[in-house]
Structure 1
Amino acid sequence: MAAGVLQPESIRVPGTPALALLQAGQGELVLFLHGVGGNKFNWAREVRVFSRYFHAVAWDMRGYGESDDYEGPLRFEDLSADILRILAYFGVQQVHLVGLSMGGRIAFDFLHRHPERVRTLTVCSASHRAAEMSPERRAAFLASRLRPLREEGKTPADIAADVARSLVGPHASVEAYEALVESMCMLRAESYMKALEAVSTYEGGIPLESIRVPTNVVAASDDRLIPADVMRPMAQRIPGSVYQEITDCGHLSNLERPYAFERAVLGFLLKHAEAKQGVPVHGGRETAR
């Protein structure tokens, strides 16, 4: 039987750098990985909801939120090592990975390096490599984010409103937009810039046809950063993958359409959990297509 909804708690995984997590529940580990402008609190609702069925955990990526800073550039191999530390901390061999935007690319990278440690893969509004975006569009994206910080002396808080407007869809609620702005305001400029550069140059390029774990690809119909037209053919190349598209939604589907997001992701996870359990029915009219 499913447990009741639990109140998440914050913990820290020791090491260099120490990692801050938000966790609730028991059972198989589900790890939520935020995007380049996010933090663990973007997933607070999902940690509560998913904790009825799983040990739900969201991280602050190194240099983000309450996790420690680090020296040097951001490297994807270090992020994969951080995930291994989390698995070791909880004493588990496998993890259900749920990554949105940059978090999805981190999940792809971890699967490429440690396929035996991944039970299922869910990627939301994320491509597997930077080359899925043209060099011109990538350069324009980087310039729009980095120039105000490096050349104009602005802080992440100064650009938060404009960045948030470029990411949310036309149907986003005021609450979703404000949550994204708040998240952007919490960023540390140096870590944010290192993450932007890392994600924009990452070409780890896991062969999609080689993926053998159950994979859930979740796109959003109004996503201008990683359009559904990029996500759909990617899903078609992954053997046996599930493709779902959330309607009337921009880049941050967990914030903009939480009920639809939960149906798309929780339903998939429950199908592949060792202990089969019924899928909860949420209220509201939102649906995943």
Structure 2
Amino acid sequence: MAARNDNNGRVALATDLPPAAIRSCLHPHPRLAYLCAGETGPPVVMLHGWGAFKELWWSTLRGLGRDHRCFALDVPGHGDSPLGGAHTIPLLADVVAQFCADLGLTEIILMGHSMGGAIAAELTLAHPDLVHRLVLVDAAVDAHLMPIYARVYLLPQLGWGLLRLTQLIGRRARPLSLRIPHEHGGGWIRPWLRRSSYLAMFEPEGLHRVYRSLFATQTGDRLAQIAVPTLVLSGQFDSLVPPANSHRLADLIPGASYHQVSGALHNPMDERPYAFEKAVRRFLRSAADL
């Protein structure tokens, strides 16, 4: 566990320190909205999944920001980051790499959730000198292997209508959803309501283009080229990226470790934030000993 001296000269564990303050920031070219937390320590870059948002990492930012410099992006096409020309997984990885270069971030700890995990894998393969540690959370790597119902939005005609219907329901629920704080303590229902309200506000055509690219991107045997310490995390009850898919991912990445977050669905950082941070910190401690 990372430690530092307090004002009385005693050694304090990072988790004994006050949670980090979170700031909203904007990278101008290309326009990327992001949250940052923490002033010192190794840099951590966090990438959310399809239809999600940077605030999904709120509790992780508050926790890891005690002893890390943390950055959680609105991936292009989501939140306050317009899609622009970054409509494929490799192009999104390039945008994140440029963001890191512009901010002077080197040897980053890269965390990717769901679609963000696919982006993180591509980024690690394309820029191995940039990524120092890799955390893949219910990662939709090789999304074509996900259950058939995960591809519902790709169905001709029907998929587009279902996406718009989902957004309509989210807009109707938004007044209630906005009352749920970012730091809600976990669970299933409140996090789900909060997520649905964000999905409702994103531009549907951009979402659909990125979704198509996610299922068209195949990483396959290239995963064996990832040579950084890697943690693969899975929610115990995830039905979109079942634990078996995450086990496969961990088996294909040399030396990767696997951890299942008990009681979590597809968003363990939001549904079981304290257990999630504990697992990440355990991995970072063990990786530092290598």
Query: Residue 241 and residue 146 in structure 1: after superposition, are their counterparts in 2 closer, same or farther (change >3 A)?
Result: same
Tell me the equivalent position of 2:73. Answer: 59
Query: CA–CA distance in 2 between the matches of 1:236 and 1:161?
Result: 42
Cα offset for 1:251?
A: 0.8
Match of 2:183 in 1: none
Match of 1:156?
A: 167
Identity %: 29
Q: TM-score, normalised by structure 1?
A: 0.81
Distance 1:92 1:128 in 2: 24
Look up the SS of the partner of 1:116 in the other structure. coil
Aligned to 1:184: 199
- Residue 136 of structure 2 is aligned with which of 102, 123, 144? 123
Q: Residues of 2 paired with 1:183 and 1:206: CA distance?
A: 35
Shift of 1:53: 1.3
* Equivalent position of 1:266 in the other structure: 281
Runs of 4+ aligned residues of structure 1 deviating over 6 Å after TM superposition are: none
> Structure 1: any 5+ residue segments left out of the alignment?
163-170, 277-289
Indicate whether 1:20 and 2:33 are aligned: yes
CA distance in 2, matches of 1:173, 1:155: 18
Match of 1:40 among 41, 47, 54: 54
Flag structure 2 segments of 5+ consecutive residues without an equivalent. Answer: 5-13, 174-185
Contact kept? 2:114, 2:139, Cα under 8 Å: yes
1:77: Cα distance to partner? 2.5
Cα deviation, residue 159, structure 1? 5.7
Q: Work out whether 1:231 is the aligned partner of 2:260.
A: no
AA aligned opposite 1:52: R
Instruction: Say which is worse superposed, 235-244 or 222-231, in terms of deviation.
Output: 235-244
Q: Report the Cα distance in structure 1 between the residues aligned to 2:112 and 2:102, rounded to whole angstroms.
A: 20
Q: Measured at CA, do residues 106 and 243 of structure 1 come closer, stay the same or move farther in structure 2, by a change above 3 Å? A: same
Residue identity matched to 2:119: I
Contact 1:112 1:206 in 2 (8 A): no
Question: Any idea what the Cα deviations from partners look like across 1:142-194, whole Å, max 9, x if unmatched?
Answer: 33753324xxx6462436899xxxxxxxx943322222222322322122212
Q: Secondary structure at the match of 2:136?
A: strand
Pairwise CA RMSD:
2.6
8 Å CA contact 1:108, 1:206 repeated in 2: no
Select between 189-198 and 20-29 the one with higher mean Cα deviation: 189-198
> What secondary structure sits across from 1:207 in the alignment?
helix
Q: Letter of the aligned partner of 2:43 in structure 1?
A: L
Partners of 2:187 and 2:18 in 1: CA distance: 29
Measure the CA separation in 1 of the matches of 2:187 and 2:24: 28
Q: State the 1:110 CA deviation.
A: 0.5
Residues 59 and 270 in structure 2, CA contact (< 8 A), matched pair in contact too: no
Alpha carbons of structure 1 residues 146 and 263: separation in structure 2 relative to 1, 3 Å:
farther
- Cα 1:172–1:4 shift into 2, 3 Å: closer
1:22-51 deviation per Cα after TM superposition (whole angstroms, max 9, x unaligned) = 001122110110010211111122111110
> Partners of 2:219 and 2:145 in 1: how far apart?
12
Deviation at 1:132, TM superposition (A): 2.2
Work out the CA distance in 1 between the residues paired with 2:278 and 2:159.
Answer: 32
- Structure 2 counterpart SS, 1:103: helix
SS in 2 for 1:62: coil
Residue 208 of structure 1: CA displacement?
2.5
- The aligned counterpart of 1:286 is none
The amino acid of 2:90's aligned partner reads E
Asked if the contact 2:46/2:73 (under 8 Å) is kept, the reply is yes
Q: Secondary structure at the residue paired with 1:200?
A: helix
Task: Give the whole-Å Cα distance in 2 for the aligned partners of 1:176 and 1:155.
Answer: 16
State the SS of the aligned residue for 1:99. strand
- 2:271 is equivalent to residue 256 of structure 1: yes
Post-superposition offset of 1:62: 1.0
1:65 alignment partner, SS class: coil
The 8 Å contact of residues 87 and 94 in structure 1, kept in 2 or not, is answered as: no
Which deviates more from structure 2 when the two are superposed, residues 138-147 or residues 62-71? 138-147
Q: Which secondary structure state, in structure 1, belongs to the residue aligned with residue 96 of structure 2?
A: helix
